[in-house]
Structure 1
């Protein structure tokens, strides 16, 4: 089949490359000419494991990029909206980019003689596809949904850093269509994958995505709350969760205590579903607590550091890990951000290191010291905060000898102090 993808971020570029891998012809649409140029030269506009290889393999063959909506729509059977849906100041979802993409699609569909399917892959709150996207496309195309064009909500369930793998090895594919024809067209795109497709309506598909992410976020905040209690009682929270996770109804994943969750999905999606609930007159107390626990959790890192070092003013503190998780350069909602902000408020001297995310973090904190290696950050530091699960941090040992005071606060359970060749004053955030 022939598909067009609007937006070349994580979801758009990965979807484009993977659809090409499945044998489809793909046209990427982006208003950013630099991204268009990168894709056409076989380079990924974002870092994602395996993405460069796929783009190099298919670029200018079965995958091209353009900023021309008319060309893309005329030469495809379906268009996927994969644009950003950031949070507004009150946490509610900002649909301005989705609306703009819908309008542009509608204008292009107006010039097309054949049936076309519009697919929302961006994460949007329930009713958005039917009550926002559909009427906008109808208005600008002059055509009727369900007759002249189709509408489908097809959420993504991709982990950053492992998105290509997740796309090609899904545990679920959800197709929420307004009619059988639309659903059939999009289902055919996934024929090459070994996964049963869940067929439903658009608003249910939208809700599945939010419930999926909100539940995972809830497991993390629940684990952090339990971890905080266990720490006060001298109990190993990881031993507790290892046992609890053997229950098939609970399962072990996402039960690790730590500094909290970040990224482009969990924080934004939980806040968005809270906003939608408030809109319909319901107060989601559990979800509000999930956000509250996550907001407070990283600041415990600084509190523990203060407990050992006292006043932090003018003290060199190594912050290891800037990305919201390992294997990505994404810093969106990274737990390092509130930690660095608090350290700056207390006038600490920050030496930061991350193997991939330095460039992105510089845009937020341009005036702190960025280091090329973890050892450089640790040199003459009095304290160290481990914020991201990079494998290399678990291998640190003699590097701690470079510190003037060997105080290490671990936010991700990366260090096994009893195995180190040097004595450090180690403490975990929840253990």
Structure 2
């Protein structure tokens, strides 16, 4: 098939590259000329394990192209994917100006039957708005489809190539046929393509992410209870997660969720609920719990140092909101950094991928290390904010020689409590004795 993908951000680039990998002709379009030129020259613009290999292969095979010209991208396309930003407004609602702006342009250039697919995470009713925006300038036949993405940063290529399910919102039989043909190579093992109406599809994405955010916040609340009651959250998690009705995933306590999806989608669903006069109390609590949890480890640090962090210097391992990505959007580490600096502390941080993005955002507010051990030099304590694999089994002898004080505040529960005691560390984690 001939496919256009409008937007070359995280979702757009993964979507376009993976569709090209199954033999489709894909043209990705973006208004950022610098980014497009970089992509044309074979330089990938995001860090995502496994993506660069198939990105380069499909450019070489001439199945994946990039342009700044919307007309060139969509004129021959059978399916047009909108993978555009929907940033939260001041009130938390999703801003649709980019989606509707492109829809307005499409109305002026469409010819013949096309399927326009909302791949961005958008509020319920957006498909209707996109259709109306196109119809202002185009009277031909077309369909607007909702096809939300369920990609996890760090494993997005696997998620796209072998999806648990594909959700497609459309009532059009013509669109169903095209979308079925497009996704057939990805569901050969029998995972379903679930067809539903557009509004249900749009809500499905928000419901899925909000439910996962709720599981995370619930376990963080249980961790708070464990610390107060003398229980061990790892044991509780094991007992709870073995119930097949609940499952083992998203039950790990920590310092809160971040990233581009969960915070934004929870806020947007709360706002959408308010607009139809429904008070979504659970999600409002989830948001409150998550904000508090990001500062929980800071409170542990302040308690240990008798609420006086002036002149204290800390090593911080991890800046990305999760491992295997360079994404720092809503990252708990940034909240921790701001709080510690406000209290008078200094920080030296290390992250395998996210340092350039943090430098762009906060500059020289902190120091940056070349590796995890360099970050420990003269530190009054180590803070772990992201569970990168290389942090899980460090050389504790090197650590002990580098760090000024053998103190660790572990926001991701990476180490065994008893082992850390044996090694002579003061070790505080989340929800464990």
Shorter-chain TM range is: over 0.9
- Any idea what the Cα deviations from partners look like across 1:371-406, whole Å, max 9, x if unmatched? 111111111111211000111111221213322221
Q: For 1:367-406, list aligned pairs within 5 A.
A: 367=364, 368-396=366-394, 397-398=396-397, 399-406=399-406
- Any idea what the Cα deviations from partners look like across 1:325-360, whole Å, max 9, x if unmatched? 000000001001111110111110111111110111
Shift of 1:422: 3.0
Instruction: Tell whether the 8 Å contact from 1:150 to 1:178 is kept in structure 2 after alignment.
Output: no
The aligned counterpart of 1:122 is: 120
The aligned counterpart of 1:198 is: 194
> Take 1:97 and 1:238, find their aligned partners in 2: how far apart are those partners?
43
Indicate whether 1:108 and 2:109 are aligned: yes
Q: For 1:262-277, list aligned pairs within 5 A.
A: 262-277=258-273
The aligned counterpart of 1:239 is: 235
- Any idea what the Cα deviations from partners look like across 1:221-256, whole Å, max 9, x if unmatched? 000001100111111111111111111110010001
Shift of 1:128: 1.0
Q: Secondary structure at the match of 2:202?
A: helix
Q: Which moved more, 1:164-173 or 1:175-184?
A: 175-184
Q: Secondary structure at the match of 1:301?
A: helix
Q: Secondary structure at the match of 2:98?
A: helix
The aligned counterpart of 1:207 is: 203
- Any idea what the Cα deviations from partners look like across 1:185-207, whole Å, max 9, x if unmatched? 12211011222110111110001
> Take 1:46 and 1:75, find their aligned partners in 2: how far apart are those partners?
28
> Take 1:405 and 1:62, find their aligned partners in 2: how far apart are those partners?
55
Instruction: Tell whether the 8 Å contact from 1:158 to 1:167 is kept in structure 2 after alignment.
Output: yes
Instruction: Tell whether the 8 Å contact from 1:317 to 1:349 is kept in structure 2 after alignment.
Output: yes
Q: Secondary structure at the match of 2:315?
A: strand
Indicate whether 1:316 and 2:313 are aligned: yes
Q: Which moved more, 1:416-425 or 1:282-291?
A: 416-425
Shift of 1:98: 1.1
Instruction: Tell whether the 8 Å contact from 1:6 to 1:82 is kept in structure 2 after alignment.
Output: yes
Q: Which moved more, 1:414-423 or 1:381-390?
A: 414-423
Q: Which moved more, 1:257-266 or 1:395-404?
A: 395-404
Indicate whether 1:137 and 2:130 are aligned: no
> Take 1:366 and 1:44, find their aligned partners in 2: how far apart are those partners?
23
> Take 2:108 and 2:48, find their aligned partners in 1: how far apart are those partners?
32
Alignment TM-score, normalising by the size of structure 2: 0.95
Alpha carbon RMSD of aligned pairs, Å? 1.2
Instruction: Tell whether the 8 Å contact from 1:323 to 1:329 is kept in structure 2 after alignment.
Output: yes
Number of aligned residue pairs: 423
Q: For 1:142-291, list aligned pairs within 5 A.
A: 142-144=138-140, 148-194=141-187, 195-291=191-287
Shift of 1:417: 4.2
Q: Which moved more, 1:260-269 or 1:362-371?
A: 362-371
> Take 1:188 and 1:196, find their aligned partners in 2: how far apart are those partners?
13
> Take 1:400 and 1:358, find their aligned partners in 2: how far apart are those partners?
24
Residue of structure 1 aligned with 2:299, choices 291, 298, 303: 303
Shift of 1:79: 0.4
Q: Secondary structure at the match of 2:136?
A: helix
The aligned counterpart of 2:329 is: 332
Question: Structure 2: any 5+ residue segments left out of the alignment?
Answer: none
The aligned counterpart of 2:410 is: 410
Q: Which moved more, 1:200-209 or 1:359-368?
A: 359-368
> Take 2:410 and 2:121, find their aligned partners in 1: how far apart are those partners?
33
> Take 1:126 and 1:183, find their aligned partners in 2: how far apart are those partners?
20
Q: Secondary structure at the match of 2:185?
A: coil
Shift of 1:104: 2.1
Instruction: Tell whether the 8 Å contact from 1:175 to 1:200 is kept in structure 2 after alignment.
Output: yes
Instruction: Tell whether the 8 Å contact from 1:39 to 1:59 is kept in structure 2 after alignment.
Output: no
> Take 1:106 and 1:49, find their aligned partners in 2: how far apart are those partners?
37
Q: Secondary structure at the match of 2:427?
A: strand
Instruction: Tell whether the 8 Å contact from 1:304 to 1:429 is kept in structure 2 after alignment.
Output: no
Indicate whether 1:83 and 2:84 are aligned: yes
The aligned counterpart of 2:6 is: 6
The aligned counterpart of 2:339 is: 342
Q: Secondary structure at the match of 1:366?
A: helix
Q: Secondary structure at the match of 1:232?
A: helix
> Take 2:417 and 2:405, find their aligned partners in 1: how far apart are those partners?
15
> Take 1:57 and 1:350, find their aligned partners in 2: how far apart are those partners?
41
Alignment TM-score, normalising by the size of structure 1: 0.96
